[in-house]
Structure 1
Amino acid sequence: MKTQKPIIVVGGYGAVGRYIVADLHHMLPKARIIVAGRSLPKAQSFADTFDDRVTAATVDVTSESSTSAAFAQSSLVILNTEAGAETAARICIEQGISLITVAASVPLIRAIATMHRAARAGDVALVTEVGLAPGLLNLMAHRIMADQPDARFLDLVIQLAMAGDHGAEAMAWTIARSNEAGRAIALAPALPKIGRWVIPVDFVDREKMAGDLKVETVTSSLALMPAWSSRVLPYVAPFLARHPRLLAKIAGPVDAMSRVLRLPFDSFNLVVRARAQDRSAVLHLRGQNQSRVTGRVAAMTAARLVEQPQNTPRGVVALTDIVTFDDLGPALEDIGCTLT
């Protein structure tokens, strides 16, 4: 992989991107980093908080010409938006640049997967499933199956606090997925640390995971904190989806009320349960600030690609092809995550 050009972080001043930039600046002391996005003033303002290794640029990933021009400056692209992701992946192949995307949309991940042969022929890596879900949950699933090879069923749950600094795109994702689900369902058997009610959401390619890990079924669900909100959100999600600006307006008051009432704020739980006929095992990762954790995972993935290019597989690859959960464990502990 080329390393003489900067790493460009698209959405680098956003909720997740600012953590990626800060972590890369610390992890790779010789690397140059470009904070990129539609707003040059916002990108420049954030870049100015670092030394001269961090600069700013404007890019609109919905514009092919803007994307192509911006990417030509870089050796690695980290994409923090789903908009324009397929075009961005194709341009990366054409320019011989590897890509890391934190997209959580299964259809988008599958669309990028169709570029595997072209990416491999272009000697680039298109790294998908980088984040909490998909991402850390996938790594946890691989780890628990290594300890429970006879398990036949996998249950994956991400539980998020309703209040917190989630970022606009993450909030929109939660509303959209809840709207698609239409209702909460009872998780059977229930998970004591999560509660009974969950919202069925495809945040991983369940069929692919079942085949890769040789289990019969994989379920994937979203739960919320406080627990009662898991039942309520699917009913109000259609209204919120039709009025996206309202969500931004009520976020502040909801956050303030959560603090006053001491409700969970900006916390998350990732739970993977492996079940056989007569027993089960559970891995539980608890943490704060999903944007912070997503940023750390993306930055460590980027550092691995830059520092160990000879060990990086080419083509469309997943986070699980780059790192293991044990690789990330100490760095996650450093930012307050706990695995039990």
Structure 2
Amino acid sequence: MNRKDGIMIIGGHGKVGQYIARELRYYNLILAGRDEGKIKGFLDKEKIQAEALKMDINNIDFTKMQGICFVVVCVDQKNTLLLEFCDKHAIDYMDVTANSEYIEKIQQLQLSGTSRILLGIGLAPGLTNLLAEKFVSMYPSAKNIKIQLILGLGEKHGDAAIRWTLDNFLKEYCHKTLGQIRPFKWKSTVKIRQKRLRTYNFNFVDQHMLNNKYPDKNFTTYLGFEFGDYGFEKRPAGYF
């Protein structure tokens, strides 16, 4: 396949990557990941004409990046080598990661600015950032802003998203005003469809990105779960 103006989706056969691949199916796509067989299986099933490429995100053979003009990353990374390579070679870069530590590493880099870099594409960070910024534009005097995120336990979540959430259940993190804090220490509530749901502080990176952008404000993200008919007053035994 001609690689000219190629769009590489790393993790393109995963939960998030599949949606992106379907939307970009008529572009010159290269789907990369650890399991080339699964990638080909997904492409055959969806009847998408794209190149399947075996690639380890943490040990990339950069010779395979020739002809790429845009990279979309849908898996977590341990280092910033790929982003630095894209910045050096004017390859536009988009990352859906919710990993606070990784985005902090990126913010500490001295990049050349030769490529466009877009981070925090998804629900949180992503949609929550946009909604928070809209709120700030409507209420510029607001200082302490809570971001309430409710996830449905009956919904289909990707393996990587589930693993990331579970990994961060007990991991302490540093917040702008709360300092070093563990998840689920602070409580809040949100009302949805006449039900009050309990939420707890959690280490979503949207709050850190917003706190960096608005130094005069304080954003805190809270996480809660929807149990169908269960609400705040009627929740299963052992629910937090």
**TM class by shorter-chain length?**
0.7 to 0.9
Match of 1:308 in 2: none
CA–CA distance in structure 1, aligned partners of residues 151 and 122 of structure 2: 14
Cα drift, residue 179 of structure 1? 2.3
Q: 1:221-255, CA deviations, whole angstroms, 9 ceiling, x for partnerless residues? A: 111112547x746xxxxxxxxxxxxxxxxxxxxxx
Query: Paired residues, what number?
Result: 218
Cα drift, residue 184 of structure 1? 5.4
Match of 2:21 in 1: 21
Match of 1:110 in 2: 104
1:58 aligns with 2:59: no
Q: 1:18-50, CA deviations, whole angstroms, 9 ceiling, x for partnerless residues? A: 11000112xxx4x20111111111111222333
Cα drift, residue 220 of structure 1? 0.8
Q: SS at 1:221's partner residue?
A: strand
1:164 aligns with 2:163: no
The residue identity in structure 2 corresponding to 1:192 is K
CA–CA distance in structure 2, aligned partners of residues 179 and 207 of structure 1: 18
CA–CA distance in structure 2, aligned partners of residues 97 and 217 of structure 1: 34
Asked if 1 retains the 8 angstrom alpha-carbon contact of 2:6 and 2:30, the reply is yes
The residue identity in structure 1 corresponding to 2:220 is T
Q: SS at 1:78's partner residue?
A: strand
Please give the residue correspondences for 1:95-134 in structure 2 after superposition, counting only pairs within 5 Å.
95-115=89-109, 117-120=110-113, 123-134=114-125
Percent identical among aligned pairs is 22
* 1:60/1:46 CA distance change after superposition, 3 Å: same
Asked if 2 retains the 8 angstrom alpha-carbon contact of 1:61 and 1:85, the reply is no
Match of 2:177 in 1: none
Structure ranking higher on relative contact order (CA contacts 8 Å, 6+ apart): 1
CA–CA distance in structure 1, aligned partners of residues 34 and 184 of structure 2: 36
Cα drift, residue 51 of structure 1? 4.5
Cα drift, residue 159 of structure 1? 1.0
CA–CA distance in structure 2, aligned partners of residues 55 and 167 of structure 1: 23
Match of 1:33 in 2: 29
Cα drift, residue 110 of structure 1? 1.2
Match of 2:71 in 1: 77
CA–CA distance in structure 1, aligned partners of residues 93 and 99 of structure 2: 16
Cα drift, residue 163 of structure 1? 2.8
Cα drift, residue 144 of structure 1? 1.4
* 1:178/1:146 CA distance change after superposition, 3 Å: same
Cα drift, residue 105 of structure 1? 1.1
Match of 2:201 in 1: 200
Match of 1:11 in 2: 11
Asked if 1 retains the 8 angstrom alpha-carbon contact of 2:8 and 2:70, the reply is yes
Please give the residue correspondences for 1:278-317 in structure 2 after superposition, counting only pairs within 5 Å.
none
CA–CA distance in structure 2, aligned partners of residues 85 and 70 of structure 1: 18
1:143 aligns with 2:134: yes
- Consecutive unaligned residues of structure 2, counting only runs of 5 or more, are 172-181
Asked if 1 retains the 8 angstrom alpha-carbon contact of 2:6 and 2:68, the reply is yes
Cα drift, residue 171 of structure 1? 0.3
- Consecutive unaligned residues of structure 1, counting only runs of 5 or more, are 234-340
Q: 1:51-77, CA deviations, whole angstroms, 9 ceiling, x for partnerless residues? A: 43x22111111113x3x1332241111
Q: 1:182-219, CA deviations, whole angstroms, 9 ceiling, x for partnerless residues? A: 545421xx321273522211213535523534653211
Match of 2:174 in 1: none
Asked if 2 retains the 8 angstrom alpha-carbon contact of 1:184 and 1:197, the reply is no
Structure-1-length-normalised TM-score? 0.58
Structure-2-length-normalised TM-score? 0.81
Q: 1:126-170, CA deviations, whole angstroms, 9 ceiling, x for partnerless residues? A: 211111101110000111111112222210021111233211110
CA–CA distance in structure 1, aligned partners of residues 208 and 33 of structure 2: 35
Asked if 2 retains the 8 angstrom alpha-carbon contact of 1:119 and 1:126, the reply is no
Asked if 1 retains the 8 angstrom alpha-carbon contact of 2:149 and 2:222, the reply is yes
Match of 1:222 in 2: 223
CA–CA distance in structure 2, aligned partners of residues 172 and 164 of structure 1: 15
CA–CA distance in structure 2, aligned partners of residues 40 and 131 of structure 1: 25
